[in-house]
Amino acid sequence: VSVVTDGSAPSPSPSPSPTPSPTTYTVTVADYLGSNYFYIDGSRAPTLTLTEGQTYKFDQSDSTNSSHPLRISTTSNGTHAGGSEYTTGVTTSGTPGSSGAYTQIEVASGAPTLYYYCTNHSGMGGQLNT
């Protein structure tokens, strides 16, 4: 039992460290030289570096994401290049272009180089280095 003399509340028992909140990237879609691309935090299809064990959220709530589901693959351009969707640690929620829509990845230990892509349109994405 804590005895407090300065009028403040006793400090709580030590608790486990909170899981760090995910790094959130804002995703928009815009035309560049006649083709649509994913823009991540305003940059056109950038290569991102992800850290194993960390969580990254790709926020697709902006209306420009409508009909552009962002997914992840071990193949550049994903299913458009004969690859398959990478699902280890990946969760998706909502409809792209609607409030609250996102794709999130908790990067697995030893994860390969990954790529983000649009399931509906070829050539929109970029690389995720791990």
- What residues form DSSP beta bridges with 51? none
Helix (H) or strand (E) holding 129: strand 126-129
Confidence (pLDDT) at 21: 84
Longest dimension (CA), the chain: 69
Residue 64 burial (CB count, 10 A): 17
**CA–CA separation, 107 and 56 (whole Å):** 8
Q: Which of 17-31, 46-60, 64-78, 113-127 has the lowest mean pLDDT?
A: 17-31
| 35-40 and 23-32 strand pairing | antiparallel
For the chain, what is the mean pLDDT? 91
28-51 mean pLDDT = 98
Judged against a pLDDT cut of 60, whether residue 89 lies above it is answered with yes
**CA–CA separation, 105 and 19 (whole Å):** 14
Judged against a pLDDT cut of 70, whether residue 62 lies above it is answered with yes
